[in-house]
Amino acid sequence: MKQKKTAPRTLPEGTVRRRYHIWGQVQGVGFRYRAKYAAQQLDLTGWVENLDDGTVELEVQGQPDQIKKMFGMIQASEYIQIVGMRQEDLTPDPYARGFSVRGY
């Protein structure tokens, strides 16, 4: 197993980690970069990646209200249209740092 290089941090009360599978007009419209910008502005951690089937997978960790704000910031683009999403709750990760775009 790969060793973590950073020390775990104490997560604020109420921190959640969620993985979303998102479909609609979400590829080729700046979704990943808007997600990264929003996550950085809201101090969220995680990653976002385009999938081969035309959908996007996004994993994010932080406060639920901040995650909701992130989706509002993403959807502020007239080009992005989220038609649906599936959410999976995960165990929060005290080692998580930053927010990245995967699969360039």
pLDDT digits (tens, 9 = 90+) for 64-98: 999 999 999 999 999 999 999 999 999 999 999 99
What is the pLDDT, as a whole number, of residue 8? 87
Q: Is 50 a catalytic residue?
A: yes
Catalytic residue among 19, 34, 50, 97: 50
pLDDT digits (tens, 9 = 90+) for 28-75: 999 999 999 999 999 999 999 999 999 999 999 999 999 999 999 999
Q: Is 32 a catalytic residue?
A: yes
Catalytic residue among 9, 17, 18, 32: 32
More confident residue, 8 or 56: 56
Strand-pair category, 45-50 with 99-102:
parallel
Return the sign of the alpha-carbon dihedral for residues 34, 72, 56, 87: positive
Helices 64-75 and 31-41, axial angle in degrees (round to 10): 140
What is the pLDDT, as a whole number, of residue 2? 59
